[in-house]
Amino acid sequence: MGSDPKRIQVLLPLPLAGPFDYTALPDAPLVEGDFVKVPLGSRTVQGVVWNMSPQNSDIAADKLKPIMGKLDLPPLPDSLRDFINWVASYTLSPAGAVLKMAVSVPRVFDRAKKKTFYRLSPDLPEKLTAGRRAVAAMAQEDVPENMPLALKTWAELAAVGEGVVRGMVKAGQMIPVEVMADEAFPEPDADLAGPILSPEQQKAAQHLCQMVSVHNFKPVLLEGITGSGKTEVYFEAIAEALQTEGGQILVLVPEIALTAQWLERFEKRFGAAPVVWHSELTPASRRRAWWAVVRGQAKGRARVVVGARSALFLPFQDLKLIVVDEEHSATFKQEDGVMYHGRDMAVVRAMQSDCPVILASATPSLETILNAESGKYDWLYLGERHGSAILPQMKAIDLRLHKLKSGIWLSDPLRDALVKNFSNGEQSLLYLNRRGYAPLTLCRTCGHRMNCPHCSAWLVEHRKGDRLSCHHCGFSRAKPNSCPECDAKDSMTACGPGVERVAEEIQVLFPGARIAVMASDEISSPTQMREMIASIARHEFDIIIGTQIVTKGYHFPMLTLVGVVDADLGLGGGDPRAAERTWQQLEQVAGRAGRAERAGQVLFQTYQPEHPVLKALISGDGQAFLEREAQEREHHKLPPFGKLAAIIISGADYNAVVKTARRISAHAPKNKNIAVLGPVTAPMAYLRGKHRFRLLVKAERQVKMQKTMGQWLALCQLERGVNIQVDIDPYSFY
């Protein structure tokens, strides 16, 4: 046996399975984490050495193929490999699918990091061709300090063909030089002075800095009312972490496109921009950032990365601190592929890196509050708004008393408040979390509703181009003139409001007002978003109508009135977190009002002012509301008091989906601590051309959910073309 080539396991970034067995190169010593090339069928693929001494492999040694070579990359850090394994087993996903997220950087494996440039040789022969003379003259006279340039650049500068330069390289007249293609990121400066903190802020900042300097794993909830200076406080912790050489800091934000103001503040505070990470970066920027994060030497390494949840999978060498801003945000949950929650995984990542993790929010999630209450997390609280700003006044407008006329979405009290605010020269915000013009179009003659042909969803009218679009699959069509069902002419009518429709109403009411609509349809790039935010802050608009993209921690000094057009939106449905989420969202929107010297006012239009969410908002007693929510969830053994998982079964063939769903149900574990609900058709019964069934698995806390589900699902054969998705601790219930 001793003479057998060494067996090792390599994980491939493919959504297949766990690592594959190969044999090691005899002459190139490998370590775990090394990037290697291996054969897979007839292809060559790149992967990562996952296990140097695998136990009990069932593939015969003589069937194994050898590794083809090692790539010139620093090995994937141990902490990241541990993290990938952890996420894979927690989410019941193949480790390869998780690795894919960590290395899904276009051409990351290429050695594009280094480029070959050329400079002129000091010894040149007397005689040169005219072309070569031109290149030499250019190098001696016009290019500073013997600077190396790309071959192509030399040819362009000297106005010769590239062949001429290539000839000089061959003849030794130009010397190749390896250069780093990517510029290093500028280092944030930890020693710049921050603002003078209030005593309350000071105390919180000291606590955080202490945690960073001790460098142990510890989660801490940084709770503070909107405008209390949470960002300033955790900036102090970042400054502390920057004091260590090469130490890295990760800040997760819900939506990176929406952080323009945050980025500006960071740059002001630290004198350099952080490294930004999200899926819409250009391939070149992604590669540059990835490489800067993985750099082995402390010098030139990326220090502060701000990113979307996928930044958790960057190959940090030395994490000193993780911050999750707006930790309650549902956008941290990834809803396809590997279904993980960015906030929860940030805590795991911090644990494996032995560093503190700060969860910041004005409206923390119930999960986090309970962890803080039980002492698992430290808990810091900021209760004062910075400077003279005070919290806005909140009022409900009962739409049962102030009836809306047909086609009108703003009640008299809200209109009056808008008029008053406008004539005072102050800014108002109308919040409605609905894109487009109208959520439904129907025929007045026969009642036919315009549905998406691929989803069980209504088509949403958008005024731009007079189109009807599906917000789930992207299907879009022109708005028909006559009913597709009964052929009645001019009978299609819009039902309900979207932001565009509210804007139309405002235009009529305030012909002289400067109006902005803020929704993802209007804003297509981070730059555009930044401009929009800046011009609102400069008071270039009087009335802003926006969806949830306006709720993200922006600071508009002149904004003193917030009107919530439909406070009941989001309260229905089968989502156990619906009330909590609505409360968080409305509390955040309300927090936009009166952030500077002028006092703010918030008005909620509702048909159910007695609903606990509205009562909590108006009384300002979020505490009591959350306690009630907690009791409710405890009573029903819902997370975090019990465990929950969803299984979605989907496929184009209805019968195959049903058959698979029944099979899964038949194999359900028989255990008094586990209840399996369903299968039932999912609320979104048809999505992107696929039928969907759903099972919910509810279990007592002590049940090992992953193990149970793994064993259960392994018994269930899927019908052809049927897909199942397991969602551990689901956040969406469609």
When CB distances are held under 5 to 8 angstroms depending on the partner's kind, the choice from Zn ion, ligand ADP, none that residue 197 binds is ligand ADP
What one-character-per-residue DSSP string does 168-213 give?
HHHTTSEEEEEEESSPPPPPP-TTS--PPPPHHHHHHHHHHHHHHH
Residue 629 CB, nearest approach to ligand ADP (Å): 23
Task: Give the Cα separation of 582 and 616 in Å (integer).
Answer: 11
SS3 assignment, position 528: helix
Joined together, the tokens standing for residue 85 give 């394994």
Residue 555 contacts which entry, Zn ion, ligand ADP, none (Cβ below 5-8 A, type-dependent)? ligand ADP
Q: Which of 470, 529, 567, 579 binds Zn ion (CB under 5 A)?
A: 470
Nearer to ligand ADP, 231 or 650 (CB): 231
Burial class of residue 16, CB neighbours in 10 A (0-12, 13-18, 19+): middle
Minimum CB distance to ligand ADP smaller for 153 or for 198: 198
Q: Which stretch binds Zn ion (CB under 5 A): 132-140, 472-480, 599-607, 639-647?
A: 472-480
Q: 454 is in the binding site of which of ligand ADP, Zn ion, none (Cβ under 5 to 8 A by kind)?
A: Zn ion
Q: Is-cis flag, bond preceding 683, omega within 30?
A: no
Compute the distance between CA of residue 676 and CA of residue 127 in angstroms, rounded to an integer: 87
Residue 383 binds which entry of ligand ADP, Zn ion, none, CB below 5-8 Å type-dependent: none
Choices 75-83, 465-473, 648-656, 674-682; region in contact with Zn ion by CB under 5 A: 465-473
CB of 250 to ligand ADP, least distance (A): 18
In this chain, which stretch among 317-325, 460-468, 469-477, 596-604 interacts with Zn ion, using CB under 5 A? 469-477
Q: Which is closer to ligand ADP, CB of 593 or CB of 674?
A: 593
Minimum Å distance from CB 201 to ligand ADP? 6
Is 230 or 341 the residue whose CB approaches ligand ADP more closely? 230
Which residues neighbour 702 within 8 Å (Cβ) at sequence distance 6 or greater?
A: 673
Q: Binding partner of residue 473 among Zn ion, ligand ADP, none, CB under 5 to 8 Å per kind?
A: Zn ion
Joined tokens for residue 325: 């801003």
Nearer to ligand ADP, 584 or 708 (CB): 584
* DSSP notation for 405-436: PTT--S-HHHHHHHHHHHHTT-EEEEE----S
- CA 315 to chain centroid: 17
Residues found near ligand ADP in the complex (CB under 6 A): 195-198, 201, 224, 226-232, 386, 553, 555
Number of neighbours of residue 331 by Cβ within 10 angstroms: 17
User: Taking the complex as a whole, how short is the minimal distance between the CB of residue 190 and ligand ADP, in angstroms?
Assistant: 18
Give the span between the Cα atoms of 263 and 242, in whole angstroms: 17
Distances 208 to 192, 193, 213, 218, 327 between C-alpha atoms, Å: 18, 17, 9, 10, 17
In the complex, minimum distance from the CB of residue 439 to Zn ion, in angstroms, rounded to a whole number = 14
* Nearer Cβ to ligand ADP (266/431): 266
Residue partners of 269: CB distance under 8 A and separation at least 6: 192, 194, 235
| Smallest separation, CB 329 to ligand ADP (Å) | 14
Distance CA 60, CA 351 (A): 38
Decide whether 454 or 479 has the Cβ nearer to Zn ion.
454
Radius of gyration of the chain from Cα atoms? 30
Q: How far is the CB of 54 from ligand ADP (least distance, A)?
A: 48
Q: Which does 553 bind (CB under 5 to 8 A by kind): ligand ADP, Zn ion, none?
A: ligand ADP
Binding mask 498-517 for Zn ion (x = CB under 5 A): --------------------
Cis peptide before 679 (omega within 30 of 0): yes
Nearest-approach distance from CB 255 to Zn ion, in angstroms: 23
Minimum distance of ligand ADP from residue 230's CB (angstroms):
3
Is residue 467 a contact residue for Zn ion (CB under 5 A)? no
Nearer to ligand ADP (CB atom), residue 228 or residue 363? 228
Nearer to ligand ADP, 231 or 582 (CB): 231
684 lines the binding site for Zn ion (CB under 5 A): no
In the complex, minimum distance from the CB of residue 428 to ligand ADP, in angstroms, rounded to a whole number: 20
Instruction: State the binding string over 394-433 for Zn ion (x if CB under 5 A, else -).
Output: ----------------------------------------
Contacts of residue 615, Cβ cutoff 8 Å, sequence gap at least 6: 609, 621, 625
**SS3 of 468, please?**
strand
Two structure tokens written together for 596:
């500077």
Give CA–CA dist 163/172, Å, rounded. Answer: 14
- Give the one residue of 86, 109, 217, 475 binding Zn ion; rule: CB under 5 A: 475
Enumerate residues 6+ apart whose C-beta is below 8 A from 473.
452, 454, 455, 687, 688, 689
Shortest distance (Å) from residue 328 CB to ligand ADP: 13
Residues at the interface with Zn ion (CB under 5 A): 452, 454-455, 470, 472-473, 475
